[in-house]
A and B are shown apart, each in its own frame.
Chain A
Amino acid sequence: MTIKEIQDEIVEEFSSFEEWMDKYAYLIELGNDLEPYNDQYRVEQNILEGCQSKVWLHAWMEDGKVYYMGDSDAIIVKGIVALMIRALSGQSPQDIIDSDLSFIDEIGLKEHLSPTRSNGLVAMIKQMRLFAIAFKAQQA
């Protein structure tokens, strides 16, 4: 599936929740279900520090595709990390660089995208793209 198709699928899933509580309960569920982060990569350079919560992010390349692993100490943020990984993991570096990640806004989590120090989500998206750029440079 393309990044666009995955995003559409996520937006579709979230549109079934009428109550914000259900939306967040689902995010919490996604956070709890996120594949465990490998402690080997729980190192300083993989931490994105927001004022509110921490995010760990690791990426690697396999057969020309970029794969991500992530974690957060806050469950809601971890749920969003899970969504981001679902959207971008297993895609080519170029597709990741070109991606338009509008789904966060569309599923009604826009307040988590404020360009402040609050939760580092903007920093997370930027870091995922930076990994892709780095891998692309290695390919060239």
Chain B
Amino acid sequence: MSKINIHQIREQFPILKCTVYGKPLAYFDNAATTHKPDRVVRKIKEVYESMNSNIHRGVHYLSNQATMAYEQARNKVQIFINAAHSHEVIFTSGATGAINLLANSFADTYLSEGDEIIISHMEHHSNIVPWQMVCKRKKALLKVIPINSHGELLLDEFEKLLSTKTKLVAVTYVSNTLGTVNPIEEIIEKTHANNSLMMVDASQAVQHLKVDVKTMDTDFLVFSGHKIYGPTGTGVLYGKEKLLNEMEPWQGGGEMIKNVSFEQTTYNELPFKFEAGTPNIAGSIALGEAIDFVSELGIENIAEYEDELLNYATEQFLQIPGMRIFGTASKKASVISFLVNDIHPFDMGTLLDKMGLAVRTGHHCTQPIIDYFGIPGTLRASIAVYNTKEEIDRLVAGITKVAQMFG
């Protein structure tokens, strides 16, 4: 039996009680963004009401309060991902912001003409385009690990791509479109054996399974706050101290500076070196609160409950005639990408919406995956800890009804 008390959890998310078109909402778009528990929303309000001030630069009371809360949130992230130091945690605007920061700083410090960066065929656009941009700028080469029809990475092919030119391997832990949980430790091991550095995109992992940067021994890791019950506009870049110290900062201004003259500027120490400008103070503090929410429930308990729902949903989905599930890896997180017969995802998504069933449709910002399967896109039902079996039953009934409408 799962240790999750679903009633207590749902009570913390008032938005789940809303109705759309007169129907109760069943929200299955959690891979795009999760809802926020009461305590996270209240935390944002509390910051603006009781400690609003700029951080790290005021001698006055409020500035100290805000600085302490902000740094406490950083400590929470450190403990959550088991980083060695809190200054290895850089607050960013999101996973996209984190990858762009890393890509630019990394390229300026470590990347030369002819070098290679390896990504995979199942990356989100945010883990493709920044690398394309810096590769173009540095005349470096971007290589791609292929996938098979189950949506699994071909590790043999990955090994063939590794060479002395490989500077970095940047791969997602969990695929947002296929749900695949990649054998990330094995990938990191092979990467390090090749003397290359590793970045893990944990945007779809931190909310579903235990992420421990020490055990996996990754050099860099990113995730966004809004997919782990935190506010939008928040995110994290983790990097090993030594590497972060070596890297050039990407953006200039604000807290990242120690001394500025028109001749020379010296940069601040970690983590401030990478946090230019006034950051999303309230957002990052509230992200700390979201991490408390997840930690108190226990990530293992969340994983167990979501697995139960995923297995139930998969079984029920497969009862629907004409159902095709994309992403059938042996190890999956709670995402089901599917099509029924030849019904266009937009058509089915539109009609499900009218029944109060929120799913994502389209290419999920992973066009290479959609192209691989040669389809116009998929419908994606992604499950969070507040979803229920009853909601899955409603979704299955909804899909069945739409399929009947299209004959």
- CB of A76 within 8 A of CB of B350, answer yes
Interface size for chain A: under 10, 10 to 19, 20 to 34, or 35 or more residues?
10 to 19
Interface residues of B in 309-352 (CB under 8 A from A): 344-347, 349-351
In-complex Cβ contact of A21 among B345, B354, B362 (8 A): B354
Knowing A25-B405, A53-B376, A76-B350, say if A20 contacts B344 (CB, 8 Å).
Answer: no
Q: Is B350's CB under 8 angstroms from A28's CB?
A: no
Q: Which of A9-27 contact B (CB under 8 A)?
A: 20-21, 24-25
Say if the beta carbon of A1 comes within 8 Å of chain B: no
Q: Mark A107-130, 1 if CB is under 8 A from B, else 0.
A: 000000000000100000000000
Query: Which residue of A21, A24, A73, A119 contacts B376 across the interface (Cβ within 8 Å)?
Result: A73
Contact A75 B354 (CB under 8 A): no
**Contact at B344–A73, with CB atoms within 8 Å?**
yes
Contact A52 B362, CB 8 Å, known A25-B405, A73-B376, A119-B346:
yes
Q: A52 vs B376: C-alpha distance in the bound complex, in angstroms?
A: 8
Give chain B's interface residue range (CB within 8 Å of chain A).
Answer: 10 to 19
B6, chain A: closest CB distance, angstroms = 30
Q: Which residues of A contact B405 (CB under 8 A)?
A: 21, 24-25, 28
Pair B354/A53 contact, Cβ less than 8 Å: no
Number of A-B residue pairs having CB atoms within 8 Å of each other in the complex: 40
A9 vs B405: C-alpha distance in the bound complex, in angstroms? Answer: 26
Is the CB–CB distance between B351 and A24 below 8 Å?
yes
Q: A20-B354, A28-B405 are in contact. Are A53 and B346 (CB under 8 A)?
A: yes
In the docked arrangement, what's the CA distance between A74 and B406, Å? 12
Q: Interface readout for B358-386 with A: 1 if CB under 8 Å, 0 if not?
A: 00011100000000000011000000000
A24–B406 CB distance below 8 A: no
Measured CB to CB, the residues of A under 8 A from B are 20-21, 24-25, 28, 51-54, 73-77, 119
Extra pairs beyond A51-B363, A52-B361 (12, CB < 8 Å) = A21-B354, A24-B351, A24-B405, A28-B405, A52-B346, A52-B349, A52-B362, A54-B376, A74-B376, A75-B344, A76-B347, A76-B350
List the 6 shortest-distance A-B pairs measured between CB atoms, nearest first.
A74-B346, A74-B344, A52-B346, A53-B346, A52-B362, A76-B347
